[in-house]
Amino acid sequence: MTHLIVLAFAIVAFIGIATPGPTVILALTNGSRFGTRTACFGMAGAVLSDFALIGAVALGLGALLAASEFWFSVVKWIGVVYLTFLGVMLIRSKGTLELSNMTAHPATSVSVRSVFLKSFAVAVTNPKGYLFFSAFLPQFVDPALPQLPQYMVLAATFAAIDFMVMFGYAMLGSRAARFLRRSGALWLDRVCGGAMLMLAASLAFYRRANA
């Protein structure tokens, strides 16, 4: 695998990641509500999901979802329900951020385990990810060479870019929250919640044939 191939992969991956999706919006939300430090735990969950998804694709799960309407629907509706739940919770939020306390004591102000698991679950229950990687990764893998090292390089590259993009969104959310009063924080939560619901709706209407 040449440096040129990895660079091409990184450019395409960055474009795909920077386009707002569930994990990016969740990073923005976590940054605005809990601060960048705590949001990093959510980013770690999303990065772990990157390795899980790419590993699953390497083992053939992406091809299974592309071929099986049943399993595709199972994963899709789990993702729809979870995104809807997160969206409704954000819309019903009171908009109280208390960032000063959260920045000083992130471990005690919110469960970092919960932040981690939410981000991991959002990514790993999105069938678009499996289908995207199934169509995307093979274009950068040389079938004549050992597969595992190539997938490891691509996974590490994608995860690094994903973390950097999410970190940028989390910092944006954190800085924006510092300038917002309670009413502004409330509307920020509602906007992010509405975005989650829109993503849930788009996933609900997503069809396997579109992959």
Tokens 């799960």 belong to: 61
Contacts of 29 (CB under 8 A, 6+ apart): 90, 173, 189, 192
Rounded Cα gap, residues 172 and 184, in angstroms: 15
Contacts of 56 (CB under 8 A, 6+ apart): 62, 130
Burial class of 205 by CB neighbour count within 10 A (0 to 12, 13 to 18, 19+): exposed
Rounded Cα gap, residues 176 and 170, in angstroms: 10
Highest mean pLDDT of the ranges 90-94, 143-147, 205-209:
143-147
Of the candidates 90, 84, 83, the one whose C-alpha atom is nearest the C-alpha of residue 190 is 90
Return the number of other C-beta atoms located less than 10 Å from residue 142's C-beta.
12
199 pLDDT above the threshold of 50: yes
Q: Please write the tens of the pLDDT for every residue from 47-61.
A: 999 998 888 877 776
- For the segment 145-156, the average pLDDT, to the nearest whole number, is 87
Q: What is the pLDDT of residue 96?
A: 47
- For the segment 171-179, the average pLDDT, to the nearest whole number, is 76
Q: Tokens representing 62?
A: 């992406």
Tell me the pLDDT band of 69, cut-offs 50, 70 and 90. Answer: confident
Contact 60, 132 (CB under 8 A): no
Q: How many CA atoms lie within 13 A of 146 on its CB side?
A: 4
pTM of the predicted structure, to 2 decimals: 0.69
